[in-house]
Amino acid sequence: MKLVAIVGSLRKDSYNRGLVETIKERFVQKFELEILEIGQLPHYNQDDEFNPSEPVLEFKRKVKEADGVIIITPEFNWSIPGVLKNALDWLSRVDKVLIGKPVMTGGATMGIAGTLRAQLHIREILASLQAKLLPPAGNEILISQAHTKFDEETGLLKEEATLKFVDDVVERFVAFVKE
């Protein structure tokens, strides 16, 4: 199984990137996970949608070829970061590669709400793009107080109860992709 991950943070030591790296490491026997970089994507411009740049074409091709998509994002100002919205806008145009594609969401933050508002917004966006989503209850990874749950040296998630929850959500997503 081939999955791709989109991280909504460009920060080098992002907890959200650490969460994706944790998933990649823990599920290496179940699926291949490629992290797609979105920082090099140009700003979406409708004038360019039928003749996009090479980074956009490559990004869309990898999403289209994947069996499923994992989107992990921080919460900026009660929503998703602009860089993630830009990536989703590119995916929504012309060939619309997210239609019918299984997508799982999640996020980590140092606050107490665990990216809840960002997850609500991303689900609305993904619904408009006709992506396939599991019902939210128990199928979203919302990590609060991330600074206490990730290893400072490796950047990986270390807190056992959270790891168990992440494993359970990812297992349900893998089964959903296989359906």
Q: What is the mean pLDDT of each run of 10 residues along the chain (179 residues)?
A: 98 96 98 98 97 98 98 96 98 97 97 92 97 91 96 97 98 97
pLDDT digits (tens, 9 = 90+) for 86-126: 999 999 999 999 999 999 999 999 999 889 999 999 999 99
Percentage of the chain lying above the pLDDT 90 cut: 94
pLDDT for residue 178: 97
pLDDT for residue 97: 97
Q: Which long-range contacts (CB under 8 A, 24 or more apart) does 10-15 make?
A: 10/38, 10/39, 10/83, 13/155, 14/74, 15/74, 15/108, 15/109, 15/110, 15/143, 15/146, 15/147, 15/150, 15/155
